[in-house]
Chain A
Amino acid sequence: MSGLGARGRITIPLAAIGIFAVAYALASAYVTDQYYQLMLTLVLIWAVMGSSWNLLSGYAGLISFGHAAFFGLGAYTVTLLLTQFDVSPWFGIPAGALVGAVAAMVIGYPTFRLRGHYFALAMLAYPLALLYVFEWLGYQEIALPMKRVDPARYMQFSDNHVYTMLALSLLVAALLISLAVERSRFGMSLLAIKQNEPAAEAAGIDTLRWKMRALVLSGAVAALAGGLYAVVLLVITPQTVFGMLTSAQALVVTLVGGVGTMWGPVIGAAILVPLSETLQARLGNVVPGIQGVVYGVAIILVILLAPEGVFWRIRDRLAARKRPGAREPAPAPMRPIGEVAVSAHAAADRAPILEVSDLSRSFGGLQAVEGVSFAVRRGAILGIIGPNGAGKTTLFNLLNGFLPPDRGRVVCEGRDLIGLKPNQICRLGVGRTFQVVRSFSRMSVLQNVVVGALAAARSDSEAVEMARVALARVGLTDRASATAGTLSNQGLRLMELARAVAARPKLLLLDETLAGLGRQEVEEMIATIRSLAADGTTIVIIEHTMHAMVRLAEELLVLDHGRRLTVGSPAEVTRDPVVIEAYLGRKWVTAGVAG
Chain B
Amino acid sequence: MQTQAMVEDFFQALTAGILDGSIYGLMCVGLGLIFGVMRVINFAQGEFLMLGMYFTLYIATGLALTALLGPYAGPFAGVALAGLALYAGGYLLHRYLVSRVTGTRAVGAEGEGHYAQLILTLGVALILQNGGLIVFGSTPQSLRTPLSASAWEIGLPFGDSAAVLVNKARAVAFLVSIATTAGLFWFIHRSHLGKALRAAADNPEAAIYMGIDVDRAHRIAFGIGTGVTAVAGGLVATYYPFQPYVGLEFVIIMYAGVVLGGMGSILGAFWGGMTIGLVQQLSALVLPFQLQNVAIFAVFLLVVLVRPQGLYGRSVDRT
Contact = CB atoms under 8 A, between A and B. Distances in A.
Contacts of A18: none
A136 B244 contact: no
Nearest to B120: A303
B104 interface: no
Nearest to B119: A303
B146 interface: no
A132 interface: yes
B64 to A, nearest CB: 29
Contact of B131 (A128, A136, A293): A293
Given A125-B252, A293-B126, A296-B123, A132 B118 contact: no
A297 B133 contact: no
Contacts of A297: 123, 127
* Chain A interface size range: 35 or more
A132 B290 contact: yes
Contacts of A133: 290-291, 294
Interface string B130-147: 111110011000000000
B304 A118 contact: yes
Given A63-B118, A121-B255, A303 B291 contact: no
A300 B133 contact: no
Contacts, number: 124
A135 B290 CA distance: 7
B305 interface: yes
B127 A129 contact: no
Contacts of B131: 289, 293
Interface stretch (A86-94, A108-116, A409-417): A108-116
A128 B120 contact: no
A194 B248 CA distance: 29
B110 interface: yes
A120 to B, nearest CB: 5
Contact of B134 (A61, A116, A287): A287
A63 B297 CA distance: 19
Nearest to A117: B41
Contacts of A251: 119, 122
Contacts of A255: 119
B290 A300 contact: no
A177 interface: no
A146 interface: no
A113 B115 contact: no
B103 to A, nearest CB: 15
Given A125-B252, A132-B293, A133-B291, A289 B123 contact: no
A44 to B, nearest CB: 23
A300 B41 contact: no
Contacts of B300: 121-122, 125
Interface string A284-302: 0001111111011111100
A296 B116 contact: no
Contacts of B168: none
B133 A132 contact: no
Given A251-B122, A288-B138, A118 B308 contact: yes
Contacts of B116: 303, 307
Interface in B1-48: 35, 41
Interface residues of B, number: 47
Contacts of B308: 118
B305 A293 contact: no
B305 A113 contact: yes
B216 to A, nearest CB: 21
A289 to B, nearest CB: 3
Nearest to A137: B290
B293 A129 contact: yes
Interface in B263-319: 288, 290-291, 293-294, 297-298, 300-301, 304-305, 308
Contacts of A128: 248, 252, 293, 297
A296 B125 contact: yes
A244 interface: yes
Contacts of A110: 301, 305
Nearest to B126: A296
Nearest to B35: A117
A65 interface: yes
Contacts of B129: 289, 292
Interface in A293-349: 293, 295-300, 303-304, 307-308
Contacts of A61: 111, 115
A296 B252 CA distance: 20
Contact of B127 (A114, A118, A244, A292): A292
B130 A292 contact: yes
A291 to B, nearest CB: 7
Interface of B: 35, 41, 97, 100-101, 109-111, 114-116, 118-120, 122-134, 137-138, 244, 248, 251-252, 255, 259, 288, 290-291, 293-294, 297-298, 300-301, 304-305, 308
Closest 6 CB pairs of A and B: A289-B130, A292-B130, A299-B123, A296-B126, A289-B133, A296-B127
Given A124-B251, A125-B297, A289-B131, 15 more contacts: A61-B111, A61-B115, A114-B304, A121-B252, A125-B300, A128-B248, A128-B293, A132-B291, A133-B294, A288-B138, A296-B124, A300-B97, A300-B120, A307-B109, A307-B110
Interface of A: 61, 63, 65, 110, 113-114, 116-118, 120-122, 124-126, 128-129, 132-133, 135-136, 244-245, 248, 251, 255, 287-293, 295-300, 303-304, 307-308
